Amino acid sequence: MSLDGDWELWHFLEGDREVGPKDLDKLGKPLRARVPGNVELDLVRAGEIPDPFFGRNFFLLRELEFHEWWYRSRFTLPGGLIGRRCELVFEGLDTIATVWLNGRKVGESANMLVEQRFDVTGVLREGENELVVRLGSAVNWARRRPYEPLHLSWEGREEALWLRKPAHCFGWDIAPRIVSAGIWRPVYLAIYGPDEIEDVYYYTSEASEDTAVLGVWFKFGTEAPTLDGFSLRIRGVCPGSEFEGEFPVEFVSGHLKVEVPKPRLWWPKGYGDPNLYEVSLELLRDGRVVASRTDRIGLRTVRLEREERSRDKGRFRFVVNGIPLRLVGANWVPLDAFHSRDAGRVEQVVELFDDLGCQMIRCWGGGVYESDRFYELCDERGIMVWQDFAFACARYPQSEDFQKVVRDEVRKVVRRLRNHPSLVLWCGDNECDYAYDTVNAHPEDNVLTRRVIPEVVRRMDPYRPYLPSSPYISPENRRGVPMPERHLWGPREYFKSKFYTEHMADFISEIGYHGCPNVSSLKRFLPEEDLWPWDNPSWRAHSVEHWRGKRRGYDRNELMLRQVREFFGKVPEDLESFVRASQFTQAEANKFFVEQARIKGLGGILWWNVMDCWPQISDALVDYYFGKKLAYHYIWRVQRPVCVMVGEPESWSVPVVVDNLTLKDAAGSFKVWDADTGEVLLEGEFRVPANRNRELGRIGVFRGEQRLFLISWEVGGERFGNHYLLGSPPFSLEKYEVWLRRIASLPRQFDPDEVGK
Segment 68-90 shows an average pLDDT of: 92
pLDDT at 297 over 60: yes
| Nearest C-alpha neighbor of 546 from the set 555, 559, 535, 533 | 555
Average pLDDT over residues 635-649: 98
Q: b/e string for 398-431 if b means 16 or more Cβ within 10 A?
A: eeeebbebbeebbebbbebbbbbbbbbbbbbbbb
Return d(Cα 465, Cα 385) in angstroms, integer: 12
CA distances from 62 to 81, 169, 243 (A): 44, 12, 57
What is the spatial distance between Cα 363 and Cα 387, in angstroms, rounded to a whole number? 5
CA 397 → CA 100, 160, 409, 446, distances in Å? 30, 11, 15, 9
Domain at 641-726: CATH code: 2.60.40.10
For residue 700, the cross-strand partners are 653
Q: What is the model's pLDDT at position 546?
A: 65
Q: Homologous superfamily of 5-191 in CATH?
A: Galactose-binding domain-like (2.60.120.260)
**Separate counts of helices (H) and strands (E) for the chain:** 16, 38
**Ranges in the chain annotated CATH 2.60.120.260:** 5-191
Mean pLDDT of 241-253: 97
Question: Please, which pLDDT band fits residue 550 given cuts at 50, 70 and 90?
Answer: low
Is the per-residue pLDDT at 551 higher than 80? no
pLDDT given at position 555: 82
In CATH terms, the fold of domain 195-297 is Immunoglobulin-like (2.60.40)
Q: Which amino acid is at 652?
A: W
SS3 assignment for 255-304 = EEEEEEECCCCECCCCCCCECCEEEEEEEEECCEEEEEEEEEECCCCEEE
Q: DSSP readout, 400-448? A: HHHHHHHHHHHHHHHHHHTT-TTEEEEE--BSHHHHHHTTTS-GGG-HI
Q: What pLDDT score does 79 carry?
A: 80
Residue 433: is its pLDDT beyond 70?
yes
Kindly state the average pLDDT of the residues 685-705. 96
DSSP per residue over 446-471, as a string?
-HIIIIIHHHHHHHH-TTS-EESSBS
Q: What is the mean pLDDT of residues 284-309?
A: 97
Mean pLDDT of 99-127: 97
CATH superfamily of 330-347+355-479: Glycosidases (3.20.20.80)
**Is 306 within 8 Å of 316 (Cβ atoms)?**
yes
Provide the pLDDT confidence category of residue 556 given band limits of 50, 70 and 90. confident
CATH 3.40.470.10 fits 482-607+615-639, yes or no: no
Burial category of 729 from C-beta neighbours within 10 Å (exposed 0-12, middle 13-18, buried 19 and up): middle
Where along the chain do the CATH 3.20.20.80 domains lie? Answer: 330-347+355-479, 482-607+615-639
Residue 156 has pLDDT above 70, yes or no: yes
Q: Where, residue-wise, is CATH 2.60.40.10 in the chain?
A: 195-297, 641-726
**Quick one: average pLDDT of 508-534?**
97
Report the chain's C-alpha Rg in angstroms.
Answer: 28
* Average pLDDT of the residues in 700-722: 97
Is pLDDT at 554 greater than 80 in this prediction?
A: no
Q: Give mean pLDDT, residues 620-632.
A: 98
What does the pLDDT look like over 497-512, one tens digit per residue? Answer: 999 999 999 999 999 9
Q: Is the pLDDT of residue 159 over 90?
A: yes
Cβ–Cβ under 8 Å, residues 27 and 19: yes
Distances (CA, A) of 123 to 71, 93, 116: 19, 21, 17
Give the confidence band of 80 by pLDDT, cuts at 50, 70, 90: confident
Q: What's the rounded mean pLDDT across residues 297-319? A: 94
In whole angstroms, what is the distance from residue 14 CA to residue 68 CA?
5
pLDDT of residue 155: 79
| CA atoms within 13 Å, Cβ hemisphere of 750 | 20
